[in-house]
Structure 1
Amino acid sequence: MQLKVSILRRPLAALALAAGLCGPLAAQGLFSPAITVNDDVITNFELEQRIQFLTLLRAPGDPVEQARKGLIDERLRMQAVSKTDIAITPEQVDAGINEFAQRTQLSGAELLKALAEGGVEPQTMRDFVRVGLAWREYAGRNFLDSARPTRAEIDRAIARDSSTTGVSVLLSEIIIPVTPETLQDAEALALEISTIRSYDAFAAAARQYSAASTRDIGGRLNWLPLTNLPPALRPVILALKPGETSSPIPLPNAIAVFQMRGTQETAGKPASYSKIDYAMYYINGGRSPEALALAQSLRERVDRCDDLYGIAKGQPVTALDRVQEAPGQIPRDVALELAKLDDGEVSTNLTRNNGQTLVFLMMCGRTSQENAELSRDDVANALTQNRVSELADAYIAKLRNEARIVEQ
């Protein structure tokens, strides 16, 4: 099989893993306890497998530390599940692997084979998926009813975005570029980044992985009015508490992950918009030094969108797009960049044509609209998902504090 993702295209990884197991762990015994959680044992083999799994995914943070914490939490989850009648069938595990594999453009069987070529046993993936499915059902049974918001809570959440006050959000961003060859890498990496809850860890991941211009400052954005964001993303962002990180958000040619750093309310009714006017001038060469230098030169020469007509004169009509669209119709990656811009400001964070074309994106203007309103269902779902996650995390923290955990 010709693998589609470079991160798993590592025939030496299995040899490296085998070499590692011939060292200290071989003396300790592969199946000797590495950690005990109450009466459950995590073996050296399980720990090495999880470390290798995280290493192949290029997960942020120390893979040894993350592997230990993840396996401990999984034992605690399954100890809670064991007191119920929840049982995950092999067919459900296979379906879960196939669902995971869909994000990598591989079949379940191809994903297992790719992992095996990197030194990760299929059973390691099966166990990982089984725990996730069981915990999802457990959390739904035990926390869903408590997590559902009341009508008044939904009204208050909507009111924060529409009627009497404005809301601004302080976010950090990581934008991971995607090509067909790197899609699996990017999706796996974004999934791992979405588990970060530390500001410092998120900033470090931004410096290492983000393609946005904010990478050098840890992905930190300035305050943004919530209404500047794409409508579909507002409930997602509203649901985040400070320190929490969003799920991966697919964009054309990229995947985004956001971390909430703070919210603030402002007096008066927030602006909402019926149309956004913007321009995209396309520069050959992608993010090459030459293309970026040309973009910087243009930034210094143009003050408003109409100036771009003179820049594009004599070029094919496809060199410049001037667009007026409702916020919900704008491609998500463009909408996210426009959210950061005032009239006449420019972004050069986007590419097209599999990264071969740089987009010189300029905000031309916004047309105000009265009585914009978030979908009640979107707000309710976002609040519910956030609360289920919070309740489940709090319960695991309680179990961890009460557990007898011994590391060898």
Structure 2
Amino acid sequence: MNIPDTARAQAQDLLDFIDASPSPWHAVATCEARLQAAGFSRLDEVDRWSLQPGGRHYVVRGGSAIVAFTVGRAPLAERGLVIVGAHTDSPGLRIKPKPADEASGLVRLGVEVYGGPILATFADRDLGLAGRVAMRSGNGVELRLVHLDEPLLRLPNLAIHMNREVNENGLKFNKQTELPLLLGIADGEPADRRFRAPLAERLGVDADALLTWELAACDTQKGSFWGVDREFIANGQLDNLASCHAALGALLATPEPEATCVVALFDHEEVGSESAVGAGGSLVGDLLARLAASQRLDAEDQKRMLARSFFISADMAHAWHPNFPAAYEPCHRVLVNAGPVIKSNANQRYCTDAASAARFIGFCERAGVPCQQYAHRTDLGCGSTIGPIVAARLGIPAVDVGSPMWAMHSVRESAGVLDHAYMTAALGAAFHG
């Protein structure tokens, strides 16, 4: 399969982006570094904003959600906005506030299941820790990012000799009793001290300075290419950091848009989005209100602005798996490396309608990339996205799209090299109008 060098370079940049972003807080920090390098300025929600045409800005909320935007040349009421939304979080195992426990001389860390991960994929993996820590400092309390990227934790499987039917019945874990992660030998120290020690060492502080944390178990294996022509990629968190990366790349490649262009990357999509940093919160609505105020739009013009706007919910899509053909709707088998996927659901699990689908098809045609359409098998439950949430709250036309992938919600997911380039180009076409 012929993979252009540009597509391979974009895929490598995606893998690097994910490797640098093992938690939602790291993902936002990675985005912020790229935005600053491109000349975007950070705004603080507590300040008054001055927003002028051509301005390139971003705002962070809660450390795990970020909205970046370029103010277009056209008046908001006459052209509206193009908004691409995605999410920074991925399913997995989150460390409890008091996680350390000793069992027969072994220290284990208690975890909560975040979202809907494929739990079996966490077994027998080299796991690290990533997230943020609240710690005492000279100025009170400081929040610091931390990433322990060496093999620190493990969830060893029970030997088949004690679980004879594992291959027939599948690998299952009791979420309370069988998921604690092994950290090490107690070695005569309190379990809590054994847990705090590597965090404190990495942060360069005393263990007693650590107050609390938001930490996730993360895979230590780096992203990679695979396949006979290296036409596929594998990494954790492709759902949904691949969409974040594509949206950000498209925005950075659109320096002087006619319409105001927005990329909104939310947290907590995997658990319902109802939080201050989730798509169910006020983050995008607050931004639109401040943009409207900057152009002195009255209530009538604000409604005109929304009516002329368009929202693209970018989240990954289920690629057809040749080993499990019965899991798919027969006429909606989307293929890896065959283009962005438009996702539809009659029960509004996705926000797509005929008009918005046709509009996105037009973006793909302008970008010169193929596109596909997906509907879930009728007798299987369908997942959802931020699309219906944001569309309902803002009242604007919207479409749900995504790049096809395998093993969604596994600790190690797979997707196509070409598809990432295709999605970035399609979103760029949307921003260019």
Q: Same fold (TM over 0.5)?
A: no
Q: Normalised by the size of structure 2, how large is the TM-score? A: 0.21
Give the structure with the higher percent strand.
2
> Which has the higher Rg, Structure 1 or Structure 2?
1
Give the structure with the higher percent helix.
1
Q: Normalised by the size of structure 1, how large is the TM-score? A: 0.22
